[in-house]
Amino acid sequence: MASYTAKDITVLEGLEPVRRRPGMYIGGVGSAGLHHLVWEILDNAVDEAMNGYASNITVTLHDDASSITVTDDGRGIPIDKHAKTKKSALEVVFTMLHAGAKFEHANYKTAGGLHGVGASVVNALSKELVATVKRDGAQWEQKFKQGAPVGAVKKIGAARGSGTTVFFRPDATIFPKIEFDGDLIRERLEISSYLHKGLRITFDNEAAGKKQVFQHSEGIADYLKKIVAERTATPVHDAAFALTRESDGSGLRLDVALQWTQSTDEHVRSYVNGIPTGSGGTHENGFRAGLGKAVRNFIETHNLSPKGVTLTAEDIREGVVAVLSVFVQEPQFQGQTKDRLNNPEVLSAVDSQVRPALEHWLNTNISVAESIVARIILAARAREASRAAQQEVARKTATSSRLTLPGKLSDCTSPGRDDSEIFIVEGDSAGGSAKQGRDRARQAILPLRGKVLNTESVSLSKVLENKELSDLVTALGCGLGKNFELSRLRYGKVIILADADSDGHHIATLLMTFIYRHMPQLITSGRVFLAQPPLYRIDIGKDTYWAIDDAHRDRLVKQHANGRGRPEITRFKGLGEMMPKVLWETTLNPRTRRLLRVDIADQIITDRIINELMGKDPSARFRFIMERAEDAQELDV
Ligand code: 0RA
């Protein structure tokens, strides 16, 4: 079907079901559901761009942060009358559920999962919606309230060019809280501008008084650059591998950008029809398969296989940073959050595009390819070395457990794991106070001396060479990296106890970074905590109070000092200054202390923030993580 007319629309049903059960259509009426409305309208505009008709999109978040306008310069939604219903196509699009399903089949829909239910759902859930269309020299407008037209479409004047503008204000009788999140919208628009090369997207955030334009001539290759820079990963080669394939026989469109870096993990961001697929799926699997085969073929044909070590698929992909974007005509999503692609045909389609293209690229960039192969062989050797070290530790632990534990660990005496704790303490003198003040049965103390290695951009073998960190790994007993096993963890809680000053914050950050990078399961299983030692002692009359920071101190003084004389305030220089008994009462005793649980709210965001912050002001980094920790704060009594 070359072009569309109103007769192609199949009318299905009205909008009552949407207002009756909004959750069925947008997932819920909370913040995520509210933002679905924006994605719906945006997707329609992006579809128009993706199919080659629009090149500019503007999204305006209005002053009140509770209404949105999306404008595109596409063909404009048709306003001609539908033969059967005698309604304009525009009205049908906005008032009939699923109307639009029959739009040109050869086109791609951005939508997947919950998306794609269209403009009519947004209309149904809006207090007011105004659609404006420019076509054929005129401007047309139709208004709606709670999904029902307020009059027919009418001509409101002459116009040049073409396009569609949709203004909507969500209905407060449906959504308990209507406040759009400018940052969330901005992030989505920015990613869209990378996935749709050249598309110019303007975000006019009136609510924040800020206007931004996103446009990237190199598309996901630009996105890859940004990710590599954010992760402060050192590239193994300068120019990235990039592959763009317009629709093949099966209708698959594919866009890949890929670079090897010195980082020790693999980082793939994948998208299907512009929607992030956080749980991967067949497109990612096809990509990995093609990548692996291309590299193996290259290594074999050039006789580069290493002696004494076998390359695994993980070795080949270590340090890879990649963006994969595919457009599939009928995507099927699965998984709890519907963010995994399930179309089986996509696996072989992506594999068979990536493999020859990458192999060809390697063969035409021989010196680059050789550095990549060297990088891969190094990964394999490091893996072998760390496995050997790990086995050695495991073997010793199995035979004579006490002997192999680090000498400076003061272990707890009770064998029960779940109610035992290990405190990682900065410095020997603090370690001494903690050792005397602790509950010997349940609390172990591991003092760390001096600076912990910044592990952000360091290989696993370097990590294991660092005495402080290898002692920590041995004391925890659960291994790290690919050899991590939570069941071997020797304690129920892992508690970082650092001074309340900026040096202490720095050390705590380095430790958290280490744990996050090399044993993230410790954090995701909720076993890592920050102790909160006091920074001030406040004596007022006969009473003593402890404050963890300046604000806390001021609060306590205000609360307790009136009319009781001058409060006496002592600032601790470090944990080592504190009497063991005081340390017990304020920081160690499970009945009186407060712990902050370290939590990862969002993997990608945390990942990026850690990368961005490492190497800058240490206290700032830590504060952030403290705030994160406080987000998920739990009183641990
Ligand atoms: C189908 C046909 C035509 C335009 C559109 C859909 C269209 C829909 C939206 C939604 C937001 N912006 C849009 N822009 C265009 C026009 C077909 C023709 O003119 O031949």
Q: Give pLDDT tens digits for 165-200.
A: 999 999 999 999 999 999 999 999 999 999 999 999
Overall average pLDDT of the 522-533 stretch? 86
Residue whose C-alpha is closest to residue 60's, from 52, 68, 51, 48: 68
Q: Is the pLDDT of residue 500 over 90?
A: no
pLDDT at position 24, please? 87
Percent of the chain predicted with pLDDT > 90? 53
pLDDT at position 401, please? 44
CATH number of 421-536+575-631: 3.40.50.670
Among protein residues, the one with the nearest Cα to ligand 1's atom 3 is 77
Among protein residues, the one with the nearest Cα to ligand 1's atom 4 is 77
Going by the DSSP 8-state scheme, the letter that residue 109 receives in this structure is: P
pLDDT at position 110, please? 46
Residues of the chain with CATH 3.30.565.10: 16-214
The residue length of the chain stands at 637
pLDDT at position 620, please? 30
Residue whose C-alpha is closest to residue 30's, from 240, 220, 176: 176
Assign 18 to helix, strand or coil.
helix
Q: Distance (Å, rounded) from C-alpha 588 to C-alpha 456?
A: 30
* Lowest-confidence pick of 234-248, 429-443, 607-621: 607-621
Rg (CA), the chain: 30
pLDDT higher at 287 or 385: 287
Overall average pLDDT of the 376-387 stretch? 83
pLDDT bucket at 232, cuts 50 / 70 / 90: confident
Overall average pLDDT of the 366-387 stretch? 87
Mean pLDDT, all residues of the chain: 84
pLDDT at position 264, please? 83
Measured CA to CA in angstroms, residue 181 lies from 27, 399, 559 at distances of 18, 57, 37
Fold entry, domain 16-214: Heat Shock Protein 90 (3.30.565)
Q: How far is the CA of 76 from the centre of ligand 1 (A)?
A: 5
pLDDT higher at 402 or 213: 213
pLDDT at position 157, please? 96
Among protein residues, the one with the nearest Cα to ligand 1's atom 12 is 45
pLDDT at position 112, please? 36
Q: How far is the CA of 203 from the centre of ligand 1 (A)?
A: 22
Residues of the chain with CATH 3.30.230.10: 220-388
pLDDT at position 259, please? 98
Residues of the chain with CATH 3.40.50.670: 421-536+575-631
Assign 206 to helix, strand or coil.
coil
Greatest mean pLDDT range, 8-12, 96-100, 119-123, 326-330: 119-123
pLDDT at position 629, please? 35
Q: How far is the CA of 97 from the centre of ligand 1 (A)?
A: 17
pLDDT higher at 592 or 621: 592
Give the residues surrounding ligand 1 with Cβ less than 6 Å away.
Answer: 3-4, 44-45, 48, 72, 74-75, 77-78, 103, 164
pLDDT at position 241, please? 98
Residue whose C-alpha is closest to residue 331's, from 346, 315, 312, 353: 346
CATH number of 220-388: 3.30.230.10
Q: Which residues pair with 210 in a beta bridge?
A: 205
pLDDT at position 592, please? 83
Catalytic residues, by residue number, are 426, 499, 501, 503
**Beta strands 163-170 and 126-135: pairing type?**
antiparallel
Measured CA to CA in angstroms, residue 338 lies from 43, 110, 623 at distances of 17, 15, 34
Q: Which segments of 261-310 are extended strands (E)?
A: 267-272, 275-276
Among protein residues, the one with the nearest Cα to ligand 1's atom 19 is 75
Which of 164, 167, 168 most suits a substitution to test ligand 1, by most atoms within 8 Å of the C-beta? 164
pLDDT bucket at 329, cuts 50 / 70 / 90: confident
Q: Residue 286: in which H helix or E strand, if any?
A: helix 282-301
Query: Of ligand 1's atoms, which has the minimum distance to the CA of residue 164?
Result: 12
Using alpha carbons only, give the angle 86, 87, 89 rounded to the nearest 5 degrees: 125
Percent of the chain predicted with pLDDT > 70? 84
Q: Is the pLDDT of residue 37 over 50?
A: yes
Q: Could you read off the pLDDT of 450-463 as tens digits, one per residue?
A: 666 665 556 666 67
Q: Is the pLDDT of residue 4 over 60?
A: no
Q: Could you read off the pLDDT of 100-141 as tens digits, one per residue?
A: 443 333 344 544 333 334 899 999 999 999 999 999 999 999
Q: Distance (Å, rounded) from C-alpha 382 to C-alpha 367?
A: 23
Q: Could you read off the pLDDT of 598-608 as tens digits, one per residue?
A: 776 544 445 54
